[in-house]
Structure 1
Amino acid sequence: MARFLDRASETMIARYAIRKVLKLGVDEDSINIRDWHRITRFVKEKGNSIVKLKKGMYYCGFCGKGPFTRRGIYLHLLRVHLDEVLDAILE
């Protein structure tokens, strides 16, 4: 599967996408237009599948762990499921 240019770019793309899904603040200027389109499609199509919300707490859509705060699920997805998030964006 085609990947982004380097690991730093991939991490930046994943951070942006996860923050969009969780409705955390994002820096719109940090993403180029090509990647922005991919991320927007990912958020619309698969955003609800990577994060589950139950009774105000967040659960991981990949492994089912939780409950997390919004910040906690953000960190969990970045640290544990970075590659899965990137694969989902690139699909």
Structure 2
Amino acid sequence: MGFSILSDRLLKFIVKRAVGLPADDIDLQKIVGSSKYTLMRKAVGSVASIIVTEKNGHLRCGLCGKGPFTRRGLYLHLIRIHGDEILSMVEEKYEELVKNYSEITWY
């Protein structure tokens, strides 16, 4: 399985989680593997809370401010317009968490 397929599946999971569509944690574990699951779950949650905002009961893009959107419309907007940006945000957050975790781990 290639990296692009994994990143595509990860992007879809992150955006589903952000807009409130059904996304099960078991799916995330299947995508990233059990060794990366715990830290990746924190990274995904952090990014998901940033990329969607709600104003007056309407969903808006947290990255560019466009909206209002339906859940499905925002899902498509985030994947088509901000997909690469979202993946890089998750990668940065994951690396930050790994660095912090390795600093507090004693060998």
Moved over 3 A (4+): 34-39
- TM-score, scaled to structure 2: 0.69
Specify every segment of 5 or more residues in structure 2 that has no aligned partner in the other structure, as ranges: 93-107
Greater relative contact order structure (CA < 8 Å, 6+ sep): 1
Whichever structure has more helix as a proportion of its residues is 2
Partner of 2:86: 85
Q: Identical aligned pairs, as a percentage?
A: 36
Partner of 1:52: 53
Answer yes or no: is the 8 Å Cα contact 1:17–1:39 preserved in 2. no
CA distance, structure 2, for counterparts of residue 34 and residue 67 of structure 1: 38
Q: 1:54 to 1:10 in 2, by over 3 A?
A: same
Deviation of 1:38 after TM superposition, in Å, equals 4.5
Deviation of 1:36 after TM superposition, in Å, equals 3.5
- TM-score, scaled to structure 1: 0.79
Specify every segment of 5 or more residues in structure 1 that has no aligned partner in the other structure, as ranges: none
